[in-house]
């Protein structure tokens, strides 16, 4: 039996979301569309934080399915996530769990509880050509009473034919701070390291600079690993029994990538603040290109990691690039 959720608060999307998300323009439009029963059948939610995207879709799914429980556990909600270490969404077979063809078959069936059905493709950019094409027909002609959600932090990696058939909403990331106790000291030491570069290396400081880079890299990896392990432990305990080992592997890797992206964002902020502080001290004007090139080097390293380049080597490349950039900045 379906669960009726008739309270005024229960039907408001914003009331179910963190404060950082509830006031954004996309949420206002989505809530108005829900109230007018004009949501559409294909919704693409994209932004910097997958956690924020899942918060939104859980709130909408709970409203559509009229449940106060976790909508992802509802029998008429079908979730597809990337699988395995490669984190791919495979086309698979119609009877194969966590495959595109299984999702298409489930969506085509009659509702278990006589209401709406919801399909969610998490990290939709991880679809390969076969799974994307298998999904396209369902997206073009979904069964009645079905709403399909695609969640991604990389919307332009989706096929144009899929992206153009969805209503697109960009969702801002929740305002989060790094909770790891060693991160603040890491940032202090990183800024100090850049200061050594700017002062100009010499025979005495070069060994310290090189060892400092390797130390920052090693500490970064430890912080990321500990943040991921702690978060994954809590998340894993809340997972239902039917989630496969392959899905768990992909979820853990995805969690690590999310934290890594957040940490890289903090490095970019620290680098920009360092440059502003140097200019404010009137110790000489930094070329405008220095900060730009440092940011570009950081983005290059982040891009290499996205294609599974060794994480330690990619960050090492950033530090070596920074060495060249800041020692020649004056």
pTM beyond 0.95, yes or no: no
- Of 102, 137, 171, the residue at which a domain comes to its end is 171
Task: Say yes or no: 41 and 78 in one domain.
Answer: yes
CATH code of 102's domain: 3.40.50.300
Q: Quick check: is 2 in a domain?
A: no
How far from each other are the two terminal CA atoms of the chain, in whole angstroms?
71
Where residue 248 falls (left for φ over 0; alpha for ψ -120 to 50; beta otherwise) is alpha
Q: For the residues of 64-94, what is the DSSP string, one character each?
A: HHT-SS-GGGSTTEEEE--BTTTTBB----T
- The residue range of the domain holding 235 is 183-327
Total domains, the chain = 2
Per residue of the chain (330 residues), what is the pLDDT tens digit?
Answer: 444 443 333 346 666 666 656 666 777 787 788 777 777 889 999 887 888 888 888 888 888 898 888 899 999 999 999 887 778 898 988 888 889 999 999 999 988 888 889 999 999 999 988 999 999 989 998 888 899 999 998 888 898 899 889 988 887 665 456 778 999 999 999 999 998 888 877 777 788 889 999 999 999 999 999 999 988 887 787 676 777 788 788 878 888 888 898 899 889 989 988 888 877 665 555 666 788 899 999 999 998 988 888 999 999 999 999 998 988 876
Same-domain status, 187 and 132: no
Judgement on whether residues 240 and 105 belong to the same structural domain of the protein: no
Q: Are residues 148 and 219 in the same domain?
A: no
Q: Is 172 left (phi over 0), alpha (psi -120 to 50) or beta?
A: beta
Percentages (nearest 5) of helix, strand, coil residues in the chain: 60, 10, 30
Statement to judge: residues 68 and 113 lie in one domain: yes
Same domain, 129 and 205: no
Contact 301, 314 (CB under 8 A): yes
Last-in-domain residue among 146, 171, 196: 171
CA distances to 12, 28, 151, 177 from 169, in Å: 18, 11, 10, 24
**1 domain residue, yes or no:** no
Residues 164 and 187 in one domain: no
Rounded to whole angstroms, how far apart are CA atoms 159 and 19?
33
On whether residue 177 sits in a domain, the answer given is: no
Q: Using CA of residue 101, residue 106, residue 110, residue 111, what is the dihedral sign?
A: negative
Give the domain-ending residue among 136, 171, 206.
171
The 3-state DSSP class for residue 5 equals coil
Q: Which position has the token pair 């950039």?
A: 325
Tell me whether residue 178 is in a domain: no
* Domain shared by 72 and 142, yes or no: yes
Q: Are 326 and 290 in contact (CB under 8 A)?
A: yes
76 and 208 fall within a common domain: no
Whether residue 4 is contained in a domain is answered as no
């Amino acid at each position: 039996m379906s669960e009726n959720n008739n309270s005024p608060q229960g039907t408001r999307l914003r009331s179910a979301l963190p404060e950082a998300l509830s006031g954004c323009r996309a949420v206002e439009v989505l809530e108005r569309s829900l109230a007018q029963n004009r949501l559409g059948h294909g919704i693409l939610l994209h932004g910097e934080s997958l956690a924020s995207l899942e918060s939104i879709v859980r709130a909408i799914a709970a409203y559509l399915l009229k449940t106060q429980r976790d909508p992802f556990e509802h029998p008429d909600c079908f979730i597809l996530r990337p699988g395995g270490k490669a984190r791919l969404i495979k086309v698979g077979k119609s009877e194969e769990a966590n495959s595109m063809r299984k999702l298409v078959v489930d969506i085509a069936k009659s509702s278990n509880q006589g209401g709406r059905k919801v399909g969610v493709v998490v990290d939709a950019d991880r679809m390969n050509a076969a799974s994307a094409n298998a999904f396209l027909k369902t997206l073009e002609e979904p069964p009645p009473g079905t709403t399909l959600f695609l969640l991604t932090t990389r919307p332009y990696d989706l096929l144009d034919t899929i992206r153009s058939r969805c209503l697109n909403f960009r969702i801002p990331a929740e305002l989060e701070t790094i909770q790891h106790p060693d991160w603040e000291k890491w940032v202090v030491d990183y800024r100090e390291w850049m200061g050594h570069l700017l002062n100009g290396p010499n025979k005495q400081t070069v060994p310290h600079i090189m060892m400092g880079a390797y130390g920052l890299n090693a500490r970064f990896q430890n912080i990321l690993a500990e943040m991921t392990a702690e978060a994954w432990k809590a998340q894993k305990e809340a997972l239902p029994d039917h989630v496969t080992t392959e899905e768990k592997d992909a979820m853990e890797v995805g969690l690590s990538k999310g934290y890594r992206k957040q940490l890289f964002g903090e490095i970019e902020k620290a680098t920009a603040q360092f440059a502003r502080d140097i200019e404010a001290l009137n110790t000489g004007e930094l070329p405008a290109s220095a900060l730009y090139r440092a940011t570009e080097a950081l983005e290059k390293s982040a891009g290499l990691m996205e294609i599974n380049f060794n994480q330690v080597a990619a960050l090492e490349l950033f530090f070596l690039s920074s060495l060249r950039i800041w020692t020649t900045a004056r």
